[in-house]
Amino acid sequence: MKIPPFKEINPPKNGYWINPKTKETYGGQYISPLLIPNLQKVEKCFEKAIKDKKFMRELEEKLLTFIGVNTPLLRSKELEEIAGGQKKVGKIYLKRTDLHHDSSHKPVNSFSSCYMAKHIFKAKKIICETGASMHSRSVAAACAMLEMDCEVHIGAVDAEKVSLNKDISELYGAKIVVVHESTKSLLPAMASALRSWQSNPDAMYVVGSVAGPSPYPRMVRTWASVIGRIAKQQFKQITGKVPSTLFCVCGGGSNLMSMAYPLLKDKTEIFAVESAGEGIPTGRHGATILGGSKMGILLGFKSKVVMKSAQIAESLTEASGLDFAAVGPEVAYLHDIRRIKFRSTTDMEAKKTFLMCCEKLGIVPAIEACYVINAALKEIKKRKNPRENHLIHLCGSGESNVNRMIKFKRENE
């Protein structure tokens, strides 16, 4: 298997994506001057890496054999049935990144970033933050294999929620820093990681989504796009066409960009799904775009952010991986130029979808993936177009959610 090569479709200028109509800028590098040299070094290393054929060949070899990036597309007749039957709604395919090593889409970026950190940046230590601990788990795995130190920042609430993934990160040898500040979730964890980087400028910071100061959003989506490049090729092989629609959940946007990026210039209609928490009108949600975000500047980048006056607002959702009051800058840009549409799913809908997937598909999805499956079914039902081929990103496996979900099941039966 050969991974289709990367083509830059949407390059930022000096770290910014620019809306041609409004001239709004997205991205940038808003960070203490202390870290500016580090960011410049990361950018240089990244440019060097993607041009280094030997490095890329070795990296892709590891992605194929260690991460197992050549995961299947599963035609789901069961979901078609639920949406009204293939004859009414077309075909539904699931991209199975739940089958990756460490059970989510995250390891493709995590491993690539760490591999670059080891061989080009020459770092001895990696610092990262994590929400659902999917990112930390895969960074820690990469660090174990690459003999690097690993420091993980996780919010105290998440450390409880996804303790399995956190424990696995620890088994891999990561040092876990539990963050008790502010919302005790992904956002303060990322702030904490960036703060730690300031104290350890020799380390490399590895972000878990298409967020953070430039060049991270671009770098992460470039690494992660391996997933979408393979998926696009597979989809064409199976159906002869690119997908009619693509559905991905959106926390920061890494799994979205991993799949959407190679399809940006295609006719595929792209949907990003946010967590509506207890319902967007309640204010208790994790929906950045649909929850009334404004442009803001945090954690090193400028993008859409949910705020309460100038403070970053709490994001509230069952899914630790979606508990992020912002989206990556390229995602905000793609929303604003209307290339990506947004939908949402409430926590309750997602939890029911979790049980449904277990009982009807024989798949334990990451709770994050349940938001997208639910929203995709709603949209596909509505479209009622039998000639369409739908693609849903099943971006993770839910072992870490079992504890909470089995309680939910027992309470609701």
Partner 1 sequence: MNKNFQEMFAKAKQEKRGSLIGFATGMDPNYKTSKKILIEMSKHCGAVEVGIPFNTSTSDSSTIMDANMRAIKAGANTEKIFKLIKEVKSKIKNNVPFLIMTYMNPVYRYSIKKFAKKCKTSNVDGLIIVDSNNNSPEDKELSKELKKINVAYVKLVAPTNNEAFIKETLKKCSSWIYVVSYAGLTGSKQVNLGNVKKISKLIRKNSKIPIGVGFGIRTKSDVSKVIKIADATIVGSGIVDIVGKNAKNHNLTKKIGSYLKNLKKGLNK
User: Residues 93-122 vs its own copies: string with x where CB under 8 A?
Assistant: ---x-xxxx---------------------
Distance separating alpha carbons of residues 7 and 3, to the nearest angstrom: 12
* 68 binds its own copies, rule: CB under 8 A: yes
Task: Look up residue 13 and give its two tokens.
Answer: 């200028």
Spell out, one character per residue from 371 to 400, where the chain touches ligand PLP: x when CB under 6 A holds, - when not: ------------------------xx----
d(CA 398, CA 40): 37
Q: For residue 348, count CB atoms less than 10 angstroms from its CB and return exposed for 0-12, middle for 13-18, buried for 19 or more.
A: middle
The pairing of strands 389-394 and 91-96 is parallel
Piece of 17-25, 151-159, 216-224, 358-366 that binds its own copies (CB under 8 A): 358-366
Closer Cβ to its own copies, 47 or 61, answer by number: 61
How would you classify residue 410: left for phi > 0, otherwise alpha for psi between -120 and 50, otherwise beta?
A: alpha
Contact 288, 306 (CB under 8 A): yes
Q: Which stretch binds ligand PLP (CB under 6 A): 3-11, 41-49, 85-93, 130-138?
A: 130-138
Q: Min. distance of Cβ 328 from its own copies in angstroms? A: 26
For residue 380, which phi and psi values (nearest 5 degrees)? -65, -40
Is residue 131 within the footprint of ligand PLP (CB under 6 A)? Answer: yes
* 76 touches ligand PLP by CB under 6 A: no
The entry of ligand PLP, its own copies, partner 1, none near residue 264 (CB within 5 to 8 angstroms by kind) is none
Output the smallest distance, CB 86 to its own copies, in A: 16
Q: Is 177 helix (H, G, I), strand (E, B) or coil?
A: strand
CB atoms within 10 A of CB 41: 16
286 near ligand PLP (CB under 6 A): no
Binding range to ligand PLP, per CB under 6 A, among 50-58, 230-238, 332-340, 364-372: 364-372
Rounded to whole angstroms, the Cα distance separating 73 from 235 reads: 8
Smallest gap from Cβ 403 to ligand PLP, in A, equals 16
DSSP 1-63: --PPPP--SS--BTTEEE-TTT--EEE---S-GGGHHHHHHHHHHHHHHHH-HHHHHHHHHHI
Interface map 197-236 toward ligand PLP (x if CB under 6 A): ------------x---------------------------
The SS3 assignment for 126 reads strand
Question: First vs last Cα of the chain: how many Å apart?
Answer: 45
Q: Residue 29, interface with partner 1 (CB under 8 A)?
A: yes
Nearest to 378 by CA among 82, 49, 179, 141: 82
Check residue 19 for interaction with partner 1 (CB under 8 A). no
Residue 132 near ligand PLP by CB under 6 A: yes
> Near its own copies by CB under 8 A, which window of 29-37, 171-179, 262-270, 332-340?
171-179
d(CA 321, CA 396): 10
Q: Is 104 in the site for ligand PLP (CB under 6 A)?
A: yes
Burial class (CB in 10 A: 0-12, 13-18, 19+), 83: buried
Q: Which of ligand PLP, its own copies, partner 1, none does residue 312 bind (CB under 5 to 8 Å by kind)?
A: partner 1
At a CB cut-off of 8 Å and minimum separation 6, what does 237 contact?
none
Q: What is the DSSP letter of 282?
A: G
The torsion angle over the Cα atoms of residues 60, 257, 117 and 3, rounded to 10 degrees, is 10
- Is 157 near partner 1 (CB under 8 A)? no
Q: Which stretch binds ligand PLP (CB under 6 A): 6-14, 81-89, 127-135, 356-364?
A: 127-135
307-326: which residues touch ligand PLP (CB under 6 A)? 321-322
Say whether residue 44 binds partner 1 (CB under 8 A): no
* Interaction site with ligand PLP (CB under 6 A): 104, 106, 131-132, 134-135, 209, 249-256, 321-322, 366, 368-369, 395-396
* Interaction site with partner 1 (CB under 8 A): 14, 25, 28-38, 181-182, 187-188, 191, 194-195, 198-201, 294-300, 302, 305, 307, 309-312
* Interaction site with its own copies (CB under 8 A): 64-66, 68, 70-75, 78, 96, 98-101, 140-146, 164, 167-168, 170-173, 355, 358-364, 399, 402-403, 405-406, 409
